A and B are shown apart, each in its own frame.
Chain A
Amino acid sequence: MSTNVSAIETPQSAAPAWTETLHEWVTTVDHKRLGILYILYGLGFLVMAGIEALIIRIQLMHAHSSFVSPQVFNRMFTMHGTTMIFFVVMPILFGFANYLVPLMIGARDMAFPRLNAFSFWLTALGGLLLYFSFLGGNGLYGAGNAPDVGWWAYAPLGAKAFSPGHSTGYWTIALLVSGFGSVGTAINIIATVLCMRCPGMHLGRMPLLAWLNFVMSGMVLIAITPLTAAQMMLLVDRYLGGHFFDTQAGGSATLWMHFFWIFGHPEVYILVIPAFAFMSEIIPVFSRKPIFGYPVMVGATVGIGFISMSVWAHHMFTVGMNSYANSFFAITTMAVGVPTGIKIFNWLGTMWGGRIQFKTPMLFSIGFLFQFLIAGLTGIIQSSVPVDWQLSLSYFVVAHFHYVIVGGILFAVFAAFYYWYPKFTGRMFSERLGKWHFWLFVIGFHMTFDVMHVPGILGMPRRIYTYEPRPGWETLNLIVTIGAFIQAAAILLFVYNLVVSYWKGAKAGNDPWDAWTLEWSVSSPPPAYNFATIPVVASRRPLWDQKHPEDPDSRYE
């Protein structure tokens, strides 16, 4: 890469016409703009999937409710799950990776800017296809609008005979297309991390965020693609009359389950590893200490990457596998808790003895630590096969994985939003509203998902549209629903804070947190070319070295 900047665009004095701005954003190949597009797109779908969640919760608020029909209820939980995983969490995490990885490794853009734009628009098309099913899912048969087969679409539910029309077809194609987008982005992140680092930044000095997103991208390559393959097979079955998952022609429904979960479980780690990445950047800065155990952190991440590829069938203990398979997957599931535990101790070790600043990003990070630990513990409980036989497909499982995704990943994403908001926009958010958001969300979260474990233990199955008024069920479900609304209110506050601070917030300056990674060395928001001269680094904390030339990290590493 050349170190000369041939043409630096000067900011224009007159505001461009809105069509011009729109054209610039649609045709952009700048990693920062694409990152923001990913994030805004994810936030848009967050609103839709959130509304679907609220519809589910209103329906379950009391027994024998008829707020929505059973058919609509099925569509709501299918769309909620699919949207949240593929079109909310993944785009937001990819958006952050896109924005931050080149800045953190001292590069001017991703390795393949046009592939980057292509991947984003593929993902965007996937989301539109999924939601187009509300209009176009009727097909010629007049049956069904919007997919209603659950986010894993177990065979034979996904077959043409059991979901006529095109709604499941749209679901399949949406995931196929966005899967190609994800693979494109993963290839791009890998090439960026390996080939675009600034001089001096060898792999042992790379910020953990870049490292963890690199591992995540490696997992995308081998975990998203099985879903792609399975969706191709489902398309062959649905539209070419194939028999992959057609039990009447000798096909196997269990094979679909294996293929789906070979994707599905690593997917959880694809989502959570970027969350770990946020934690590994934010906790040190607000503890005023370098990360504890950097090499162990990298090793544990790679370990999680490998082990998480061999745990998938713990989603299938109730299918009736033989005892060897059950034991194998129970043991690997317990084993994956080990590197994860190492990480939690590393973050605690970072905080230990630090001068902790309880700013909003740090509050969300501490929330993450507690809640992710509990989510992990309920996971370990279910790795025990007999316990899983009892709890599988109950609300206990629903509570467990929402604890991971909301209590863990979403809290980390909120922390990241508040931490990097000044860099993205050049403005500070309102700390007061941020704290309100945090406490409201913590209260809402625990009301919903702590309590949700209990109906699960009592035997309430997931995906039922209503239930009998058994002792305690109605009260518990009512509390869960109230908690969901508190969370929704907190998220509105969050969005309000983001929007208002964009115009009203105080100027942030380059480095409002006194942080140590390269993105804070450039202006906020960064110029299109990122770095006027490509930086040279000598340690893991290049900005520390610059601020403290008398005691640089490079002396000790």
Chain B
Amino acid sequence: MSALTIPITQAPRAWDLPDRGKVAMAALIIAEAAIFTIFVVAYLFYIGKSLTGPTPREVLETPVFYTICLLSSSVTVHMAGSFLKRGKQAAFLQLWLLTFVLGGLFLFGTGQEWHRLIYEKGLTISTNLFGTTYYSLVGLHAFHVTAGLIMLLIVLIFGLAGRVGRDQAGRVEVLSLYWHFVDAVWVVVFTVVYIVGR
């Protein structure tokens, strides 16, 4: 039988399919959300079940400043993306740098908090259930922030080399979707750890 590849109908006039980068990032976010859900469930389930101290009420301090940093980085990354779409590369780079700095500040804040908890309060991952669930959940989030920062940095380096133009706006948008997700997860983690958990 000969090859049957001759189309018998005309192609539809408009054939728009969704952007694969955004679809894939959405799928990744769903998968990541499921991982975080399990860690959040474990955290909630073990609230108040530690047999020994220290308890969250004794040692946790609400990281208001660093939370504001992370949440506002969501705004800056969005603004950076829309500047890039309009071809304003300089404004894009400034806001992208600001996003990176804000994200970095947040990570520094997490590190500072962990240092205080470990060296001053004696809370480690093996101390009690609170320590296990706290470091796992916050650590998992910090890991995602770190991964996001590395990707932000890569774009920043390419941007400084003048390689990120308007044609890269789609890719930058995919990355900013991930960054928004990392911020949204922090809202949940913050609520669970610093409000519900205390």
Binding site for B on A (CB under 8 A): 111-112, 183, 186-188, 190-192, 194-197, 199-200, 217-218, 221-226, 228-230, 232-233, 236-237, 240-244, 249-252, 255, 259, 262, 509-511, 520-523, 531-533, 535-538, 543, 545-547, 549, 552, 554
Contacts and interface: CB of A to CB of B under 8 A. Distances in A.
Contact of A190 (B19, B24, B51, B136): B24
B24 A252 contact: no
When A and B form their complex, which 9 residue pairs have the shortest distance between CB atoms, in order from nearest?
Answer: A241-B126, A229-B38, A225-B34, A536-B7, A195-B20, A242-B132, A199-B11, A521-B4, A538-B9
B45 interface: yes
Contacts of B50: 249-250
Interface stretch (B25-33, B105-113, B178-186): B25-33
Given A196-B17, A252-B45, A511 B3 contact: no
A510 B20 contact: no
Interface string B125-147: 11011001100100010000000
A200 B27 contact: no
A11 B18 CA distance: 35
A187 B31 contact: yes
Interface centre among A230, A236, A242, A537, by most chain B C-beta atoms within 10 angstroms, is: A242
A211 B38 CA distance: 28
Contacts, number: 154
Interface of B: 1, 3-12, 15, 17-20, 23-24, 27-28, 30-32, 34-35, 37-39, 42, 45-46, 49-51, 125-126, 128-129, 132-133, 136, 140
Contacts of B126: 240-243
A214 to B, nearest CB: 11
Given A259-B38, A546-B6, A221 B30 contact: yes
A522 B3 contact: yes
13 contacts: A183-B28, A190-B27, A200-B15, A229-B39, A232-B140, A233-B136, A243-B132, A249-B128, A251-B46, A252-B46, A510-B3, A521-B4, A536-B8
A244 B133 contact: yes
Nearest to B32: A225
Contacts of A547: 4
B8 A546 contact: yes
Nearest to B40: A229
B125 A523 contact: no
Nearest to A220: B31
Contacts of B28: 183, 187
Contact of A549 (B8, B19, B20, B23): B8
A551 to B, nearest CB: 13
Contacts of A537: 9
Contacts of A545: 8-9
Contacts of B30: 218, 221-222
**B4, B15, B128, most chain A CB atoms within 10 A:** B4
Contacts of A229: 34-35, 38-39
A536 B37 CA distance: 42
B43 to A, nearest CB: 10
A113 to B, nearest CB: 12
Contact of A230 (B8, B11, B38, B140): B38
A196, A222, A523: residue with the most chain B Cβ atoms closer than 10 Å: A222
Contacts of B5: 521-522, 531-533, 535
Given A199-B12, A228-B35, A249-B51, A242 B125 contact: yes
Nearest to A514: B1
Contacts of A195: 17-20, 23
B4 A546 contact: yes
A187 B3 contact: no
A191 B18 CA distance: 9
A11 to B, nearest CB: 16
Nearest to A240: B125
By secondary structure, the A interface counts as helix
B45 A255 contact: yes
A221 B42 contact: no
Contacts of B132: 236-237, 242-244, 251
A145 B95 CA distance: 54
Contacts of B17: 194-197
A180 to B, nearest CB: 10
Given A192-B20, A242-B132, A510-B4, 6 more contacts: A195-B23, A217-B27, A225-B31, A226-B37, A520-B4, A533-B5
A398 B20 CA distance: 42
A188 to B, nearest CB: 8
A550 to B, nearest CB: 12
Contacts of B11: 199-200, 536
Contacts of B49: 250-251
B189 to A, nearest CB: 14
Contact of B18 (A194, A224, A521): A194
A30 to B, nearest CB: 18
A186 B34 CA distance: 14
B178 to A, nearest CB: 13
Contact of A112 (B9, B20, B34, B129): B20
B8 A521 contact: no
A191 B46 contact: no
Contacts of A188: 24
B51 A242 contact: no
B114 to A, nearest CB: 14
Nearest to A223: B34
Contacts of A538: 8-9
B65 to A, nearest CB: 29
Contacts of A531: 5
Contacts of B19: 195
A250 B34 CA distance: 25
B5 to A, nearest CB: 6
B129 A251 contact: yes
Contact of A226 (B18, B27, B38, B136): B38
A232 B136 contact: yes
A197 B15 CA distance: 10
Contacts of B129: 243-244, 249-251
B31 A554 contact: no
A249 B7 CA distance: 68
A183 B29 CA distance: 11
A255 B7 CA distance: 56
Contacts of B4: 510-511, 520-521, 543, 546-547
A223 B50 CA distance: 29
Which residue of A199, A241, A511, A523 has the most chain B CB atoms within 10 A of its CB atom? A199
A199 B128 CA distance: 58
A511 to B, nearest CB: 6
Nearest to A537: B9
A510 B132 CA distance: 59
